[in-house]
Amino acid sequence: MASTSRSPTKSPVKAKSARSDISTSTASIAAKAKALKKANSPTKEPVHDQVEDFVKCELCKHTLEDPKSLSCMHSYCRNCLVTYFTETKGPNANEISCPICLQITKTSKSSKTPEGAIDHLQTNEFLRSYLEARSLKNPDKSCDTCRRQNRVTGAIQWCRMCHDALCDNCVGFHNALKTTKQHNLIYLTKLRNEPIEGIISAPLCTTHEGENVTKYCDNHKEVLCEKCVAGSHKGCKGVMTLKEAAARNKQEITHVNNTLHEETNLAKSIYENRTKADKTVDNDQSDIVMQIQDVRKKINDNLTKCETQLIEELHKMHSKEKETIHSETKEAHRIKKSSGKIHGLAASTDKYGTDSHVLQSLPNNTAQIDHYKEKLGSLNGRIKNTRLNFVVDSTLEHLMKGISRLGELRVSSSSARLPTSRALKTARSDSDPEDELDIRGSRRTLKSDTKSLKSFKSVYSSTMYANLKEVIFAGSSTDKETCWFTGIACMPNGQIILVDRNNNKLKTINSEFKLTTETVLENQPFGITVVSASEIAVTIPRENRIDIFNVGASLTRSKSIKISDRGYGITYAGDKFAVACTCASPPSIKIITMNGEEKQEICPDDSFIPMLFRPWYVKLDTTGEMMYVSDCHRSHVTCISGMVMKQFVYKDNSLNAPRGLHVTKDGRVIVCGFGSDNVQILGKDGYLISDVLTRTDDVMGPQDIALTTTEDKLILTFDPSSGNSDKIHVYDVKL
């Protein structure tokens, strides 16, 4: 097929930063693409009234022209991609983020221009053939040879070998040339009566120019021409005809189409559910405002302050819930759009394409199934049907003086996980509340504020320096899921014990940073703390339990302690445990003795507003008197002394969705910023000293952090969303 090449606009396009908002860029790209099409086409071929979704460019919203495909299998017009690449990444970048699904495609490093980078991308052969066949059905099809000379002439015949539509004059030249006179020409009037699958041409060999593919190598999963069979695949025993290969892979082809269809339907259901939930919380807010105002009418004017305070709190709560739902809605819409396009392409390839087309796209389709299975499983497990509730203060009817609140605002949630087929149930999902941070702590829109960093570097000279020493792969052959190391315990003998939440395991790393043993648990663990030189304690949230293990050649459970709520982060010092009870109402820190006695429940507040919303991790200093809590939802690090008095709350735009933290021997605090992709160190009084690690250090989605007992090594784990959670980073540090 002769490609319809469109030259890019002559005016230079100013490159934006890598953090440019994709939706804004896409809008400008669509407008520029339309202008390019108008300027570079002497006449525009009429298109069908309805453009099939899989042949529509999502940047310009028109039928694909000169399509180029990204590694995620989404295709766009060549010129649209050039403009998009220039606007979002700049001419020197070597990767491009898909406008639909945001997956990254590496571009050619040798290309010095955006045009060159895009030209190196692959072309989906089925799309190319389908678009060509579709254009030949057009009764106003123009001559391709004349069009390349900026002339407009109606075409009457088509050359199957040149893939050109020709007018009368060009047919004469075509038949007169020695190189083309033997080509097979066919009248377009005859072609238009044929079904589209009869017009689509088989792809040519990518290695041997002009050779048709006729065979399939099952060893290398490639379609071949006869020269390939006789050459590079001469020793392959899995070479067969395309028909035989298609029949052998029919079950997998059907499975791919069915699974993509199911994924698209599930994404659509989640999107519709989130849209409905968005309206529900709006209605709830309106109803609650009316309730609050109705209650307000029954009391005198001296409660105006209470009313205002409560409504403001409602708006804040509503805003946070709206933000979550909108993020989930956008993610569901993106998955629905992404998987739907790939499903449409796969189904059409199967229906209209040749066996070679189907086999050629099968490995990529299979890879995309796993991608969307993971995305949908995570999203479907996180979503909750959230309601905003108002509970009138029980004393309001009887006591008109001395009250501080009109009532209490509550968020009641129940799992909204939608039913899935068996094929999609293998995707990992979890309905625990901490999963909300995958949405709330989105790193896509973070804007860091470095003012505090600049101001405090000068007043505090003791800054931590970290250099990457080792990257440990801590996965094992028995793991059924991607690792998620939510806890780290550094023992005095140099051993590192990791909590692998996804695989229900405790894994031991020796002093040479090698995985030595693993202990399989019955239920998912989360937090871990060192109790003594030979003991550790691990939280089992779903069982409301703390397990004590003896540490030796292996880990042996010696004791279990029941607690009243789910415990996540845990720390031990001063003969007591402090446990972060994220799911308690309200969220709190429980102080528990080794005998299992709950001595205290700490729920700090600020002007009657609870300070803790999602406390994942908690740490005590060596004396057990100072407590530090990271709150992912509010992006706080709170320090409490004497178990009751708030010392400071650290909150800064440069730290988003904090998770794991560690207290040094001299009382400084190291904290992971999951949402901001950084590790920071704070002073004793709660001010920022400096960033220890940032995105430039290849830190994405840090989960937990710990120093070895000698404080010369820093251990860092990552959230699964980073794509790097099977690995542990070990840094040489200097305090």
Total domain count, the chain: 4
* 92 confidence band (pLDDT: 50, 70, 90): low
Residue 640's CB is within 10 A of a number of other CB atoms, namely: 22
Q: Which has the minimum average pLDDT: 53-62, 143-152, 706-715? A: 53-62
Contact 211, 225 (CB under 8 A): yes
Give the pLDDT confidence score for residue 709 in this predicted structure: 93
Q: Is residue 144 part of a domain?
A: no
Regarding whether 655 and 609 lie in a shared domain, the answer is yes
pTM of the model: 0.44
Regarding whether 619 and 529 lie in a shared domain, the answer is yes
The dihedral through the CA atoms of 228, 234, 235, 238 has a sign that is: positive
State the chain's maximal CA–CA distance in angstroms: 104
Residue 194's CB is within 10 A of a number of other CB atoms, namely: 13
* 46 confidence band (pLDDT: 50, 70, 90): very low
Question: What is the identity of the amino acid at 125?
Answer: E
Residue 459 has pLDDT above 60, yes or no: no
Single residue among 105, 139, 173 that ends a domain in this structure:
139
Residue 673 has pLDDT above 90, yes or no: yes
In tens, the pLDDT along 206-252 reads: 788 767 788 999 888 888 888 898 888 888 888 898 888 888 888 88
Give the pLDDT confidence score for residue 28 in this predicted structure: 53
Regarding whether 509 and 386 lie in a shared domain, the answer is no
Mean pLDDT value of segment 299-318: 78
Give the pLDDT confidence score for residue 360 in this predicted structure: 87
Single residue among 401, 431, 461 that ends a domain in this structure:
431
Range of the domain at 75: 1-139
Q: Is residue 200 part of a domain?
A: no
Give the pLDDT confidence score for residue 126 in this predicted structure: 82
Mean pLDDT value of segment 595-622: 82
Q: What percent of the chain has pLDDT over 90?
A: 25
In tens, the pLDDT along 412-431 reads: 777 777 777 666 655 444 44
Regarding whether 629 and 512 lie in a shared domain, the answer is yes
Q: Is residue 237 part of a domain?
A: yes
Q: Is residue 151 part of a domain?
A: no
Give the pLDDT confidence score for residue 287 in this predicted structure: 86
Give the strands of the sheet with 688-693, arranged side by side.
658-663, 669-673, 678-682, 688-693
* Lookup result for tokens 């066949």: 133
Residue 15 has pLDDT above 50, yes or no: no
The overall average pLDDT reported for the chain is 81
- The residue among 713, 338, 272 whose CA lies nearest residue 509 is 713
Residue 9 has pLDDT above 60, yes or no: no
CA distance 530 to 185: 80
Give the pLDDT confidence score for residue 280 in this predicted structure: 87
Most confident of 337-351, 456-470, 546-560: 546-560
Residue 715 has pLDDT above 90, yes or no: yes
Q: Which has the minimum average pLDDT: 10-19, 282-291, 519-528? A: 10-19
Q: Which has the minimum average pLDDT: 610-614, 624-628, 686-690? A: 610-614
Regarding whether 555 and 496 lie in a shared domain, the answer is yes
Regarding whether 528 and 414 lie in a shared domain, the answer is no
Regarding whether 223 and 308 lie in a shared domain, the answer is no
In tens, the pLDDT along 437-454 reads: 333 333 333 333 333 333
CA distance 530 to 484: 20
